[in-house]
Amino acid sequence: MNAVLIRKILSRHDYVGPFSEGLAPVRKNGKWFHIRPDGTPAYWLRYDWVGPFSEGLADAMDNSRWFHIRPDGTPAYRQRYDMVWAFSEGLAEALDNGREFHIRPDGIPAYRVRYEKVLPFCEGLAIAMERGEWFCIRPDGIRMDPRSINTPV
């Protein structure tokens, strides 16, 4: 991208975020959407907030409820949550009714268990917390026995 184009994009928006998966989140007149590298909007919808794309979806917020959107700006699913985060290894953290868990790209929870806190998946495991204790969980939400995790000696 040349410097003239960058200055033009920056001057037309209140905020421009980093490009991810070919699109960048921007804020203009208090509303958020994504732009292409040439500065044109990727879609006509506008949201209260959008984040960068990860694994084909971006987190978005509208009317204080969170969900994920596709590159064309359409919601990826109907469900709305108190908060959602970026996808990692096919799952994203979600918060609903004060409890955290992971959801699939279709917005359906990946498992039934709810935790005080969950972190993103990395190499097939995520860290979760319940009653002040941190531990690892599998993508099905099952707590791992620490003795079963292979760690370098």
Please give the full DSSP string across 27-74, using - where no structure is assigned: EETTEEEEE-TTS-BS-S--BSEEEEEETTEEEEEETTEEEEE-TTS-
24: in domain: yes
76 touches 107 (CB < 8 A):
yes
Same structural domain, 68 and 128: no
Same structural domain, 102 and 40: no
The domain in which residue 39 lies consists of 1-76
Same structural domain, 38 and 1: yes
pLDDT in tens, 106-143: 999 999 999 999 999 999 999 999 999 999 999 999 99
pLDDT in tens, 56-91: 999 999 999 999 999 999 999 999 999 999 999 999
pTM for the whole thing? 0.89
Same structural domain, 2 and 50: yes
Task: Tell me the β-bridge partners of 31.
Answer: 28
Please give the full DSSP string across 102-151, using - where no structure is assigned: EE-TTS-BS-S--BSEE---BTTBEEEEETTEEEEE-TT-PBPPGGGS--
